[in-house]
Structure 1
Amino acid sequence: MNRVHKEKGFSLIELMIAIAVVGILASIAYPSYQAQIADGRRADAQANLLSLVQHMEREFTENGTYIGASLPYNEAPRDGNAKFYDLSLASQAATTYIILARPKNVMAGDECGDMTIDNIGRKTAGAADCW
């Protein structure tokens, strides 16, 4: 009795097709993943800006002026080693201030660019839908 044994496994063509499909899926998914990471970093910077606004308002309540107030921290995020935004007082007067978040490191080329918030809550950024 002769039995014909069929080889089990993948042919080179099948393997190359599978690799091509995985490559195409990865090329679509990776930029979307990167955009989501950037959105998260931007949201963290915005949360820090809002926290600093509260700090400045407490300073004004205690002293009656924004002059002399300083920010309790100057980088975002506050935790971890990687810092993606520099935080600073862009301008400061007796009754007004502007807090600036400037992207740095891997966020330096972010489309939103610098984000600001002032004493009356006006928010600005490099693109319209960043806040």
Structure 2
Amino acid sequence: MSRRARGFSLVELMTVVAIVGILAAIALPSYQASVRKSRRADARVALSDTAQRLERCLTQYGTYDNGNCTVAETFDSPQAYYSISANVARMSYTLTATAQGRQLKDRACARFTLDSRGAKAAFNEDGNAVADCW
């Protein structure tokens, strides 16, 4: 008489668990890095939107700091992954987005700047300029 085997052996099950563990160890950090990179759009959107409002102010009133079109000195980006600070003068401005909360783990692009000349810059957590964040 032959016995009919049913189910999986413990060795087969442990092999599958090991393979899934290895794949997860490789895929999870890559996924998290991709998510952090996609959150950078939150800073770019906030800086561009604020710059556009300031340019409208210059067009309408002749200065960036006119009382009819104020911009808060600090505020959060739309998804709150960045804190935006605005340094607005009569004929110039500098906007800075600094990572906060969960986005602090994005050490490669921790801070973005945009000024009234349209100059864009990004910096890592050490303050060094980075070329590929924008």
For normalisation by structure 1, the TM-score amounts to: 0.86
SS where residue 100 of structure 1 aligns?
Answer: strand
Q: How many residues align?
A: 124
Amino acid at match of 1:104: Q
Amino acid at match of 2:7: G
1:59-106 CA deviation, whole Å, 9 max, x = no partner? 11121111245327821225xxxx2111120x2221110111111001
Matched, 1:97 2:98: no
Q: What percentage of residue pairs aligned between the two structures are identical?
A: 40
1:20-51 CA deviation, whole Å, 9 max, x = no partner? 10011111111111111111110122022111
Q: Which residue of 2 aligns with 1:112?
A: 109
Work out the CA distance in 2 between the residues paired with 1:61 and 1:74.
24
- In structure 1, list runs of 5 or more residues that go unmatched: none
Q: Which residue of 1 aligns with 2:84?
A: 87
SS where residue 48 of structure 2 aligns?
Answer: helix
Kept after mapping to 2: 8 A contact 1:38/1:107 = yes
Q: Which residue of 1 aligns with 2:132?
A: 129
Larger radius of gyration: 1
For normalisation by structure 2, the TM-score amounts to: 0.84
